[in-house]
């Protein structure tokens, strides 16, 4: 397997519902690998709820895979989350790509829900243990620190066995969590250089645990814009990125033309990240569709060329 390009939404940029479904059809027909929905409950800007969006995509598409980037296990009941994911995977005939994390401590979701951020890592670990066992069809009994269940199981179980379980985060705890529970890892705010360090640490942990990830199960998101840094969607996204991540906004964006986007892709591929989620920075139906069309026309052919060259090199 080579480089795979999906797309996603950091916000809901559409002016109409029809615009959203036009965009989904473009992704379905344009050769994009997958759609990823950012998980945010509380926001001033329009945002879709990720699990509901995944269910809608399951019924509206035939080929596209889809996932959440990333859903906070610490804010959700793991039994309900496991059941939702299993249902969506069954109804989509095995196209769900779940991705989980503990959630940013800067997120307003924690304050709004009343959940304390202290202990969110342990809560997430406990939740992932429950979810992974339920997906395997096990009956789960647990008297944990955060969750108590008595002989619960779900049916039907996911079509995909095992159902992919991607983990986000680059802390030592996140690396351990990825090795213990995950089948893939998704970078968040990491630069290519930072992501390379995390990839190496995960691979070392997997080797020590006698485990293995598929090559394509390391991914990241790239916010892109065919345009300039002064474009209004870029300025707004940079402000939000800096507020949520605490980082320089220009670290997480590819703005300009195809070469700027491809340079960013090549840097992540060199760091061991072949799964790219390209998120258009746009506003309104036509702008979002135009930005996505640029990606299909100018980026995907180059990705195909890179994959063909890599395949030829392997065969030589």
CATH at residue 200:
3.20.20.30
What is the Cα–Cα distance from 21 to 19, expressed in whole angstroms? 6
Please give the chain's pLDDT, 316 residues, in tens: 589 999 998 889 999 999 999 999 999 999 999 999 988 888 888 999 999 999 999 999 999 999 998 898 988 999 999 999 999 999 999 999 999 988 777 777 877 788 888 888 999 999 999 999 999 999 999 999 999 999 999 999 999 999 999 998 888 999 999 999 999 999 988 899 999 999 999 999 999 999 988 878 999 999 999 999 999 999 988 888 887 777 887 778 999 999 999 999 999 999 999 999 999 999 999 999 999 999 999 999 999 999 999 889 888 7
Quick one: which H or E segment has residue 100?
A: strand 99-101
pLDDT reported for residue 216: 82
Among 78, 96, 76, 77, smallest CA distance to 86 is for 96
Among 249, 230, 176, 236, smallest CA distance to 43 is for 236
Residue found by looking up tokens 């485990």 in the block: 211
Count CA atoms within 13 Å of residue 281 on its CB side. Answer: 29
pLDDT reported for residue 45: 85
What is the Cα–Cα distance from 283 to 279, expressed in whole angstroms? 12
Copy the structure tokens of residue 84. 């939702």
Count CA atoms within 13 Å of residue 105 on its CB side. Answer: 8
Among 237, 224, 219, 233, smallest CA distance to 168 is for 219
CB-CB contact of 3 with 271 (8 Å):
no
Which distant-in-sequence residues (6+ apart) come within 8 Å of 44 by Cβ? none
Among 52, 29, 27, smallest CA distance to 41 is for 52
pLDDT reported for residue 1: 59
Q: Domain tally for the chain?
A: 1
Terminal CA-to-CA distance of the chain, rounded, Å? 17
Among 246, 223, 220, 245, smallest CA distance to 235 is for 223
For residue 175, what are the domain limits?
A: 4-315
50-60 helix and 17-29 helix, angle to the nearest 10 degrees: 60
pLDDT reported for residue 215: 78
């Amino acid at each position: 397997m080579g480089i795979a390009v999906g797309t996603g939404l950091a916000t809901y940029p559409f002016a109409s519902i029809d615009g959203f479904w036009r965009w989904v059809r473009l992704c379905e027909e344009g050769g994009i690998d997958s759609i990823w929905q950012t998980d945010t409950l509380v926001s001033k800007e329009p945002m879709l709820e990720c699990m509901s969006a995944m269910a809608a995509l399951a019924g509206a598409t035939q080929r596209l895979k889809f996932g959440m980037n990333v859903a906070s296990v610490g804010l959700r009941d793991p039994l309900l989350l496991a059941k939702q994911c299993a249902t969506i995977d069954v109804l989509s005939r095995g196209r769900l790509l779940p991705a989980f994390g503990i959630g940013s401590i800067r997120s307003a979701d924690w304050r709004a829900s009343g959940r304390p951020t202290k202990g969110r890592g342990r809560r997430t670990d406990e939740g992932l243990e429950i979810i992974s066992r339920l997906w395997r069809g096990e009956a789960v009994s647990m008297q944990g620190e955060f969750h108590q269940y008595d002989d619960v199981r779900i049916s039907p179980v996911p079509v995909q066995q095992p159902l992919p379980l991607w983990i986000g985060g680059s802390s030592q705890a996140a690396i351990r969590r990825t090795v213990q529970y995950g089948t893939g890892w998704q970078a968040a705010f990491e630069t290519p250089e930072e992501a390379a360090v995390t990839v190496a640490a995960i691979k070392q942990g997997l080797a020590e645990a006698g485990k293995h990830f598929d090559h394509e199960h390391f991914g990241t998101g790239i916010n892109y814009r065919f345009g300039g840094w002064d474009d209004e969607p870029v300025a707004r996204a940079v402000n939000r990125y800096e507020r949520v991540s605490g980082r320089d906004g220009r670290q997480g964006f590819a703005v300009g033309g195809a070469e700027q986007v491809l340079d960013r892709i090549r840097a992540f591929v060199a760091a061991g990240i072949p799964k790219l989620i390209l998120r258009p920075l746009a506003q309104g139906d036509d702008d979002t569709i135009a930005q996505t069309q640029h990606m299909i026309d100018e980026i995907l052919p180059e990705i195909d060329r890179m994959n063909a060259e890599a395949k030829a090199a392997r065969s030589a």
